[in-house]
């Protein structure tokens, strides 16, 4: 079936949009997204903690070149 979702000249194979919160850890989140087949994930935007940068980054687990980030500005 050729029914791709097209948003601003970007084509998506899946219409499923999944969240990235409430997972036990980042690797579980990345695995679930991969298995779901979703091309778009929702993310939250936060200030970078200048004094502590040791926390793992979402971008290290979910490649933004492969999966589009849909930021939720409310939280």
Partner 1 sequence: MKKIKKIKIKINGKITSIVEELTLDKLIRNLKIPLSKVAIELNKEIVNKKNINKIKLNNKDVVEIVHFIGGG
Residues lying near partner 1 in the complex (CB under 8 A):
19-23, 26, 29, 42-48, 50, 53, 57-59, 69-72, 75
Angle CA 18–75–59, to nearest 5:
55
Nearer to partner 1, 5 or 17 (CB): 17
> Cα–Cα distance between 22 and 7 in angstroms, integer?
27
Chain centroid, CA 62 distance in Å: 6
The residue (of 5 and 42) whose beta carbon lies closer to partner 1 is 42
Q: Output the smallest distance, CB 13 to partner 1, in A.
A: 21
């Amino acid at each position: 079936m050729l029914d791709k979702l097209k948003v601003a000249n970007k084509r998506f194979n899946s219409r499923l949009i999944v969240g990235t919160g409430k997972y036990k850890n980042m690797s579980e989140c990345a695995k679930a997204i991969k298995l779901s087949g979703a091309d778009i994930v929702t993310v939250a935007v936060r200030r970078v903690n200048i004094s502590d940068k040791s926390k793992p980054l979402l971008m290290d687990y979910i490649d933004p070149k492969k999966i589009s980030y849909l930021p939720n500005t409310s939280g």
